[in-house]
Amino acid sequence: MQLDRWVELLYCLIIVFASTFIYFKTRRIYKLTSHKGIKSFRNAFFFFGVAFLVRLLAFFISFYHISSTIQITATVIFNYFLSMAGFSVVYSLVWKNIPENRKYFFHPLALAIAIIDVFTHHYMIIVSQLAVFAYAMIVSYGNYKKSRDKSNFLQLYFIGLVLALISYFFNLLSNIVPLIYIYARAVTASAFVIFLYGVMKTLKWRKKESA
C-alpha cells in the first residue's frame, strides 16, 4: 500500500475513534440534562463519525475498482454528514440565540452543498466548511474572552477550531499543490485529538475527584 493510502487510513481511523468516543462518553451527561448545547455538540461528533466511516468504507471499496456511481454516492453522503457536523458545531455554540426550528434548515442546506460539491471539484464543501469553521472560531474566541476562568479548556477548544479551519485551508491548497494533503490530514487529526483530550480531561478528572 502506498504512503498516501496509509495516511488516509490512519486519518480516518483517528477521526472515527475520537468521534465515537466523544459521542458515547457524553451520553450520560446529556441524558441527565437534555441540554441543547450538549445535544448539538454530540450530534456534531455523531455526524463526523458517520462521515468518516463512510469515507473509510469508500477507501476499502476503492481497492475493488467499484463503479464511479458508487464513488459519487459515497462522496455525496460523506459531504452531507461533514456539512451537518460543521453546522452542529456552530449550533452548539450559538443555540441560545437561534430559534430551534431554524436548525432544520441545516439538512436541506447540507444536502445541497453535498450535491453541488460533486460538480465543483470539491471546492463547494471546502469553501462552505471554511466559512462555517471561521464563524465557529470567532464565536469560540468570544466565549474565551468573556470567560472569567481563563485556565479552562475554552482556549484549547478555540485552538482546536483554528486547527480545523487551517486544515480546510490546506485542503483548498492541496488542489493546487497535491502534497499539502498530508499536512491537511495531520492538522485535522490533531484537532480531533484536542477535542478528544478535552472531553476526556473534563469527564475523567472529575470522576477521579468524586471517587
Partner 1 sequence: MAKKRERLEVIHDILIAVRESNNSIKPTRLLYSSNLSPQMFREYTNELLEKKFMEEKEADGKKTYSLTKKGFEFLEKYKLIVDFIGNFGL
Q: Which residues in this chain contact partner 1 in the complex, by CB under 8 A? A: 26, 28-29, 32-35, 37-38, 40-41, 92-93, 95, 139-140, 143-144, 147, 149, 152-154, 157, 198, 202-203, 206-207, 210
Q: Residue 182 Cβ, how far from partner 1 at the closest point, in Å?
A: 29
Between 33 and 175, name the residue whose CB sits nearer to partner 1. Answer: 33
- The whole-angstrom separation of Cα 115 and Cα 77 is 9
Q: Residue 88 Cβ, how far from partner 1 at the closest point, in Å?
A: 11
Between 114 and 163, name the residue whose CB sits nearer to partner 1. Answer: 163
- The whole-angstrom separation of Cα 162 and Cα 185 is 14
Contacts of 92 (CB under 8 A, 6+ apart): 37, 38, 39, 40, 41, 43, 44
Between 49 and 160, name the residue whose CB sits nearer to partner 1. Answer: 160
Between 26 and 83, name the residue whose CB sits nearer to partner 1. Answer: 26
Q: Residue 98 Cβ, how far from partner 1 at the closest point, in Å?
A: 13
Within 10 Å of residue 177's Cβ, how many Cβ atoms?
10
- The whole-angstrom separation of Cα 175 and Cα 183 is 13
Between 65 and 209, name the residue whose CB sits nearer to partner 1. Answer: 209
Q: Residue 163 Cβ, how far from partner 1 at the closest point, in Å?
A: 15
Within 10 Å of residue 104's Cβ, how many Cβ atoms?
9
Q: Locate cell 466565549: which residue? A: 143
Q: Residue 27 Cβ, how far from partner 1 at the closest point, in Å?
A: 12
Query: What letter would DSSP give residue 148?
Result: S
